[in-house]
Amino acid sequence: MIEVNELSKRYRDTLAVDRLSFVVKPGLVTGFLGPNGAGKSTTMRAILGLDAPTSGEALVDSRHYATIARPLHQVGALLDANAAHGGRTAFQHLYCLARANRIGRTRVDAVLGLVGLSSVGGKRINGFSLGMKQRLGVAGALLGDPGILLFDEPVNGLDPEGIHWIRGLLRSLAGEGRTVLVSSHLMSEMALTADHILIVGKGRLIKESSMTDLADQFRRDVLVRTPARDEFARILAAAGARVQVEVGGGLAVTGLGQSRISELALHNGILVHELAARSASLEDAYLQITDASVTYRAAGLGNATSTTKTEITR
């Protein structure tokens, strides 16, 4: 269990994290989602005792991380795949971390096997691709077989096979009852792995929701515009659809597909001006939620929400 209470972190004149509070529960993959610069990495560093909070606190298993004697047995973390000395071999790198936690060489070999790096254990990290370094970072997180795991953008640099592997790994770690916190700036990635979502922007918690609730909330419907609005609304309702009148006078129809609606219009002699399927994908939902809190935005591209229509299938 990870508890973050009213956590704030200020770097000179930037407030990176602003009174952030949340709890990460065991047995679930919790997605920590937000645009670049939203404060995700800072929060993770505060949880791991690397950065001291300006105010508030972050606890793991009700303790401050820095007070845990051999922390890798309780918490494993992958923060930055490049945070390793390139001159060491993969084995040596892991052994240095393991030794401080009284973890033996056999376990180092075992985690190298778990992440598929057994064959390059004796190779220097300098020669590793970003994907291999991510796997090495995951191996480091798994060293002490911890109950709590934090991964900061673990899919960065992984090839499709690697991405598939890490999704499965995250699911199975949570399935074993562990607490798993994964950060990402991509909703599409979270949609495939997370059970629970924390969305942050400008250091604040914008939304906390289960993945299914979030998907339901940004529902898919069909927009119908017709001069015979009330009459067609009754017909659609009789056919089993849920119909709502929108502000602009259009009908928001759920429960019936575009083709069935157009058939009903034809059979009942209703004139239809517009018939459009609307899919608020999770990506759209995310963009809508975070739009006000984007820290770095390319100039002149306008509102990203109105231009993005990528549909994400879960």
Chain contacts with other proteins (rule: CB under 8 A):
45, 48-52, 65-66, 68-72, 75, 77, 79-80, 82-89, 92-93, 95-102, 140
Residue with tokens 């591209």: 301
In 3D, which of 169, 155, 167 has the Cα closest to residue 192?
A: 167
Q: How far is the CB of 210 from other proteins (least distance, A)?
A: 29
Q: How far is the CB of 162 from other proteins (least distance, A)?
A: 20
Instruction: Provide, rounded to whole angstroms, the least separation between the CB of residue 63 and other proteins.
Output: 11
The residue among 84 and 253 lying less far from other proteins, judged by its C-beta, is 84
The number of beta carbons lying within 10 Å of the beta carbon of residue 49 is: 17
**What's the order of all strands across the beta sheet hosting 274-279?**
242-245, 251-254, 220-225, 274-279
Q: Which residues of 68-102 are buried (b: 16+ CB within 10 A; e: fewer)?
A: beebbbbbbbbbebeebeeeebbbbbbbebbeebe
Nearer to other proteins, 130 or 252 (CB): 130
CB of 87 to other proteins, least distance (A): 5
C-beta of 95 vs 232, nearer to other proteins: 95
CB of 49 or CB of 255, closer to other proteins: 49
Give dist(CA 298, CA 174) in Å, integer.
37
Read off the amino acid at residue 194: A
Minimal distance in Å, beta carbon 78 to other proteins?
Answer: 9
How near is the Cβ of 244 to other proteins at its closest, in Å? 51
The dihedral built from the CA positions of residue 279, 183, 92 and 145, taken in this order, carries a sign that is negative
Q: Which is nearer to other proteins, 112 or 282 (CB)?
A: 112
Tokens representing 259 are 């083709």
Q: Is 14 helix (H, G, I), strand (E, B) or coil?
A: strand
Based on CB atoms, which residue is closest to other proteins, 117 or 285? 117
Residue with tokens 């499965």: 168
CB hemisphere CA count around 216 (13 angstroms) = 5
Nearer to other proteins, 141 or 243 (CB): 141
CB of 190 to other proteins, least distance (A): 24
Tokens of 236: 């659609």
Pair 194, 285: CB distance under 8 Å: no
Least distance (Å) from other proteins to the CB of residue 84? 6
C-beta closer to other proteins: residue 203 or 250: 203
What is the phi/psi pair of residue 235, to 5°? -60, -45
